[in-house]
Amino acid sequence: MTGIWLTVLLVGAVSMALKSAGPVILGGRELPGKFKQVVALMAPTLLAALIATQIFASGSHLTFDARVVGLGVGAAAIMLRVPTLLVVVLAAMATALTRLAFPA
Amino acid sequence: MAMVFDPMGDLVDANEESAEHGPPPVGTVEPLPDLRADVRSGLRAAVPLAIAVFGFAVSFGIVARAADMGWLAATVMSATTFAGSAQFAAASVIGTGGGIAAAIIAAVLLNSRYLAIGISVAPAMTGGPVRRFLGAQLVVDESWAVGHLGGGRYSRGRLLGAGVLVYIAWVGGTVVGVLGAEFLGNPESLGLDVVSPVLFLALLKGQVADRRAAVVALLGVAIALALVPFVSPGVPLIAATAACLLGLRKL
């Protein structure tokens, strides 16, 4: 029982420290010019990498499954400027139906 | 601006709305932004993301229940760690009787991107160290994406507004999942696992400002996927940010 609580508290402390290191140490100050150009590219790069790993990876395995169909439907809906909530519903439905049709 | 609850609020439109802020004129002091208006716009833009986060949190609650974590430990973990992948890793380590060290190492690797994310939002995080520390806890993938105004500039109000909503959804969803585990189905059979990547794709569309951003983002994807089979989960994400070093090159 104490092992669980120690894990909860230590994992929490580590996560809080990682999130706050930048803002606490550098907070409110402008980054140097060259650094700014690097940071400007971080949002698109990390978002793209997050999408790729959430769709094409399970743990340490590369995968190609129903999630790909969901992403494809979602991407098409985004291109057609469908409202976001509907985009999500269509993508989730496409994924669920693909899983239903082709059970793993 | 009237405070309207708009569950159909469009993420992409919200991004375009934020573009009104525009880059500050060079050499002038940026005027004080209207914090409350920014918080409200962040809240609105985060509604669809918060729904996805809620579903994800319910599945964390179910996993935590299966790992015999107990509802209080699971809820405290969501309230303090507030990072999905690290919590799933910790719960599975607990469930399989793994050591505390393994859970902590997994959390460090999975959350290493928050070091980079924290540095990127640091200029927007004003106020004393305590306020900066607390504000930083609300910066997660979703609020970070909503708070980005483009060109590496972030709105503190949008970060905090989106962060509060996502935090409530995460902690609330955990409680629902842990207490209602036996009444709920498998989130994957509903396709809920694609909700977050698809929402990120909608946000990404507004963030790829030019050719260079597109090239760097694709390079990041290539780095991340190439590393997946060889390193622990989480490491491919921080490695992908190496692609951003191309920003040092003159165009």
Domain residue ranges in chain A: 1-30
For residue B21, pLDDT beyond 70: no
Q: How far apart are CA B168 and CA B171, in angstroms?
A: 5
Residues A60, B158 contacting (CB under 8 angstroms): no
Per-residue pLDDT band for B104 (boundaries 50, 70, 90) equals confident
Minimum mean pLDDT among A27-31, A99-103, B209-213: which range? Answer: A27-31
N- to C-terminal Cα separation, chain A: 36
Q: Give the start-to-end residue ranges of the domains of chain B.
A: 36-187
In the block, tokens 């996560």 appear at A15
- From B51, B100, B236, residue closest to A53, measured CB to CB: B236
Residue of B nearest to A65 (CA): B194
Better pLDDT: B189 or B126: B126
Is the model's pLDDT at B100 over the cut of 60? yes
Partners of residue B153 on adjacent β-strands: B150
Q: Is the pLDDT of residue B243 over 80?
A: yes
Mean pLDDT (whole number) for B67-80:
92
DSSP symbol at B251: -
DSSP per-residue string spanning B134-183: HHHHT--HHHHHHHEEETTEE-HHHHHHHHHHHHHHHHHHHHHHHHHGGG
Instruction: Report pLDDT for B63.
Output: 82
How high is the pLDDT of residue B29?
52
Residue with tokens 């309207």: B4
- Alpha carbon distances (Å) from B41 to A39, B18, B124, B154: 23, 8, 16, 13
pLDDT for position B13: 43
Q: Looking at the predicted structure, is the pLDDT value of residue B56 above 70?
A: yes
Provide the pLDDT for residue B7: 44
Nearest to A42 among B70, B116, B194 (CB): B116
| Cα angle B9, B200, B233; round to 5 | 150
Q: Per residue in B181-193, pLDDT tens?
A: 777 777 778 888 8
Of B104, B192, B248, the CB nearest to A11: B104
How large is the average pLDDT for residues B116-135?
A: 94
**What pLDDT does residue B251 have?**
61
> What pTM did the predictor assign?
0.79
Contacts of B59 (CB under 8 A, 6+ apart): B177, B187, B192
Interface test with A, best of B194, B204, B207, B225 (most A CBs within 10 A): B194
Mean of per-residue pLDDT scores for chain B: 84
Tokens (6 digits) for A41:
């590219």
Confidence of residue B17 (pLDDT cuts 50, 70, 90): very low
**What is the rounded CA–CA span in Å between residue B251 and residue B217?**
16
The answer on pLDDT for A8 being more than 80 is yes
Report the length, in residues, of chain A.
104
